Amino acid sequence: MRKITEIIIHCTATPEGRAVTRADVDLWHRQLGFFGIGYHYLVLLDGTIAEGRPLWRVGAHCADHNRHSIGICYVGGLDSRMRPKDTRTPAQRAALRQLVDRLRSQFPGIRVYGHRDFAAKACPCFDAHSEYDIS
């Protein structure tokens, strides 16, 4: 198993309420030349957690951080005018919290960040570091 020290939260950058599946994200990432879906987990609108890449495999979600991180992406992140917005449904909020807590138990000392903490992006359209990191 690789050494994992970070969880990095992302959004799909799709309009609020638009259903996106794991297969959709997998296709988008393959079209970008990736091996397949770059995230380890995708949180759907109803709170379902779809598995992406296995944890032992390096993700493709955040330059210079993939080797030591877990990528989690929630569906949404934009309003109807395609502007950044925290669009997480109550089910997504609960699922994200449970997933982060489970991973924190599995990887003691892991830190939580948003993609925006490492790139000039709004993603995930909320302050994930403040919301989830307890270190």
Report the catalytic residues. 10, 39, 115, 121, 123
Q: How many whole angstroms separate alpha carbon 52 and alpha carbon 68?
A: 16
Secondary structure of residue 88 in the 3-state scheme = coil
Question: What contacts 50, CB < 8 A, 6 or more positions away?
Answer: 21, 22, 41, 42, 43, 44
